[in-house]
Amino acid sequence: MFGGGFEQLNRAILEGALEETEDLVKRMLEEGVNPLEVMNKGCIPAMEKAGELFEAEEFFLPELIMASEAMKRAVKLLEPELAKRGTEKKIIGRVVIGTVEGDVHDIGKSIVASMLSAAGFEVYDLGVDVPGETFVARVKEVEADILGLSALLTTTMQRQREVIELLTEKGMRDKVKLIVGGAPVTRAWAEKIGADGYAEDAVNAVKVAREMIASK
C-alpha cells in the first residue's frame, strides 16, 4: 500500500479527516513502514500543499485549521515510533512560540506552530497568556533560534514590546530572532518595537522563519 498509502494520507490530512488520518498512520506502522518515511512522504507534503492552497485562496482558515489538526494527530502517533527507532525528523531550527500575557487566543498561534513543525522546525508551544519571563527562560533553556510572539488584541500588543525589552535586559536579544504576528499586528508595529520579522498568517510565518535560519 506504500505509494498509494502516502497519497491517501496526503488527501486525508488535506481534508482534515481526523479518524482516517489516524487509521492510515496506524496501518502503515503495522505494515512496517518507516515512521520517518510516513512523516516525510505522507505528512509534510500535505501541510506544504495546504499552505499553497491557502496562499492561492483555494483554502480558507477553517480548512487550514482542520488540516493542521489532522497533522497533529499523525505526528502524535509517529513521534513515539521515531523515538523507539532512535530516528528523528530533520530539525532545521528551534522555535519557541506563544500568545503573550493577558491574551488567551489560541487558534492562529496553534496553526503557526503546526505549520512550523511540519516544515521541519522543533517547536516549543508555550500556549496562551504567557508571561515575558517564561518566554525568556524557555528561549534560554532550549537555545531557541526563533521566538514567535502572538497577540490578538490591541491591548496586548504592547506585551510583545515588553518581551523584546526583557530579552535586551537579560543580554539575550542578539541570540534569538523575533517574529511577531496576530490580527492587530502590522509590519510597521514589528519594525517599531524592534522585531526581526512579521508574519500575517501561518504560511508567511514559515517563510519568514526559513529565511531567518538561512541567514544565520
Q: What secondary structure, in 3-state letters, does the chain show?
A: CHHHHHHHHHHHHHCCCHHHHHHHHHHHHHCCCCHHHHHHHHHHHHHHHHHHHHHCCCCCHHHHHHHHHHHHHHHHHHHHHHHHHCCCCCCCEEEEEEEECCCCCCHHHHHHHHHHHHCCEEEEECCCCECHHHHHHHHHHHCCCEEEEECCCCCCHHHHHHHHHHHHHCCCHHHCEEEEECCCCCHHHHHHHCCCEEECCHHHHHHHHHHHHHHC
Q: Which of 34, 50, 85 is the last residue of a domain?
A: 85
**Average pLDDT of the segment spanning 178-203:** 95
Q: pLDDT value at position 167?
A: 98
Looking at the structure, tell me whether residues 52 and 104 fall in a common domain.
Answer: no
Looking at the structure, tell me whether residues 78 and 157 fall in a common domain.
Answer: no
* pLDDT at residue 1 greater than cutoff 60: no
Q: Which of 58, 85, 112 is the last residue of a domain?
A: 85
Q: pLDDT value at position 3?
A: 55
Looking at the structure, tell me whether residues 61 and 122 fall in a common domain.
Answer: no
Q: pLDDT value at position 87?
A: 66
Over the stretch 162-181, which tens digit does the pLDDT of each residue have? 999 999 999 999 999 999 99
List the CATH number of the domain containing 81: 1.10.1240.10
Looking at the structure, tell me whether residues 108 and 196 fall in a common domain.
Answer: yes
Looking at the structure, tell me whether residues 123 and 186 fall in a common domain.
Answer: yes
Looking at the structure, tell me whether residues 38 and 144 fall in a common domain.
Answer: no
Looking at the structure, tell me whether residues 66 and 122 fall in a common domain.
Answer: no
Looking at the structure, tell me whether residues 107 and 170 fall in a common domain.
Answer: yes
Looking at the structure, tell me whether residues 20 and 98 fall in a common domain.
Answer: no
State the residue range of the domain holding 142: 93-215
Q: pLDDT value at position 134?
A: 98
Total domains, the chain: 2
Looking at the structure, tell me whether residues 79 and 99 fall in a common domain.
Answer: no
Average pLDDT over the chain reads 92
Prediction pTM value? 0.78
Q: pLDDT value at position 89?
A: 66
Over the stretch 87-112, which tens digit does the pLDDT of each residue have? 666 789 999 999 999 999 988 898 89
Looking at the structure, tell me whether residues 128 and 181 fall in a common domain.
Answer: yes
Looking at the structure, tell me whether residues 162 and 182 fall in a common domain.
Answer: yes
